[in-house]
């Protein structure tokens, strides 16, 4: 993020807050939604995330680490909500009827729902790393910062997550 925007956020500039909000709101919402499992909780988590960002911007020591700092806050808020409320449920997981062929599923635009369903079904640490890398485009270094681990662990976990997702999705896409 541009250093001047960060400085403007530190100064309480309302225009900078609006620009930042518009740039990050949708990304954070999708990330939090996939962690907490429902729309209402995701909205609450994003709201709390922005409050913590705006109130804590003075604690950010390096503008280079801004993006990972933002996602760390969103992650922590999501995990805090999960601990308070309940374990993550897959209530929104889409079930694909077994009596439909893959052609019917694709024709009815279910391919996106199939992929999302299988991502939701992954273990939480795999789901989270897929979301950070593939959907939010964070670097390995940024993901390591968010997860408080090292880059080699990130790479290994991402490899395992992708492999597991491939295994889960391959039956849908095998041509027989």
Contacts with 136 (C-beta within 8 Å, 6 or more apart), sequence order: 27, 30, 31, 71
128-163 pLDDT, tens digit per residue, is: 999 999 888 899 999 999 999 999 999 999 999 999
Domain ranges of the chain: 1-91, 98-176
Q: How far is CA 10 from the centre of its chain?
A: 25
* Rounded Cα distance, 26 and 80, in Å: 20
CATH 2.60.40.10 fits 1-91, yes or no: no
Confidence of residue 175 (pLDDT cuts 50, 70, 90): low
Q: Provide the H-helix boundaries in 86-176.
A: 102-107, 111-121, 124-130, 140-147, 151-173
Q: How far is CA 92 from the centre of its chain?
A: 16
Q: What is the pTM of this model?
A: 0.65
* Mean pLDDT, range 56-81, rounded to an integer: 88
pLDDT at 121 over 60: yes
Other CB atoms within 10 Å distance of the CB of residue 32: 25
Residues 35/75, Cβ–Cβ less than 8 Å: yes
**CATH classification code of 98-176:** 1.10.10.10
What element of type H or E holds 13?
Answer: none
Confidence of residue 164 (pLDDT cuts 50, 70, 90): very high
């Amino acid at each position: 993020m541009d250093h001047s925007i960060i400085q403007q956020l530190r100064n309480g500039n309302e225009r900078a807050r609006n620009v930042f909000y518009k740039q990050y709101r949708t990304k954070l919402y999708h990330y939090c939604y996939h962690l907490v499992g429902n729309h209402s909780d995701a909205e609450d988590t994003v709201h709390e995330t922005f409050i913590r960002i705006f109130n804590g911007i003075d604690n950010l020591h390096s503008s280079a680490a801004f993006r990972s700092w933002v996602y760390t806050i969103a992650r922590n808020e999501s995990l805090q909500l999960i601990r308070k409320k309940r374990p993550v449920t897959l209530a929104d997981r889409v079930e694909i009827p077994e009596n439909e062929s893959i052609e019917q599923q694709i024709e009815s635009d279910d391919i996106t729902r199939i992929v999302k369903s299988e991502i939701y079904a992954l273990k939480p640490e795999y789901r989270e790393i897929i979301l950070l890398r593939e959907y939010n485009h964070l670097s390995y270094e940024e993901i390591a910062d968010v997860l408080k681990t090292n880059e080699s662990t990130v790479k290994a976990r991402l490899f395992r997550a992708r492999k597991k997702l491939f295994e889960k999705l391959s039956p849908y896409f095998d041509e027989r």
